[in-house]
Amino acid sequence: IAGLFALVPAAVALAEIRLTPGYGAALTLFTLMLIVAADTGAFFAGRQFGHVPLAPQVSPGKTWEGVIGGLVFSGLVAWGGAAWFGVAPLQMVSVGLVTAAFSVVGDLTESMLKRYAGVKDSGSIFPGHGGVLDRIDSVTAGAPLLLLGLLQIEALS
């Protein structure tokens, strides 16, 4: 049941983004790039600089430094997206940062659900990054927020 509450809004958001006339494929790629940038930036910044735990009871490996790295990477991707889609940089970066922040919430939520279910890891398909669920959790939280943000700044018109 928890999966439905996460997957359905994400699927609807991704479908809406993909069906945007003229820019659908590019916006879908941008969505994934933005969220992957948050995950990748968090991974490398946390690994290199991470000292302050973000939520040690939920996900002991995540750090505040990692979150900052993820936000920086996502901010850079969003800046590029502003030029790509002809949107004001401040607006797109703001939407990108909110999306990245919510992707962290999705990641922590999935970690909490794994702990509740007694599952140590979601798999080993992506060495060092967990399993398939660890790739999807950020998208499930971030995509709906990105859609709302893009609608707010009228980037989907």
Collect all residues with Cβ–Cβ distance below 8 Å to 148 and sequence separation of at least 6. Answer: none
**pTM score, two decimals?**
0.87
Q: pLDDT per position in the chain (157 positions), as tens?
A: 666 777 899 999 999 999 999 999 999 999 999 999 999 999 999 999 999 999 999 989 999 999 999 999 999 999 999 999 999 999 999 999 999 999 999 989 888 887 787 776 555 555 555 566 666 888 999 999 999 999 999 877 6
Residue 151's φ and ψ, nearest 5 degrees, are -65, -40
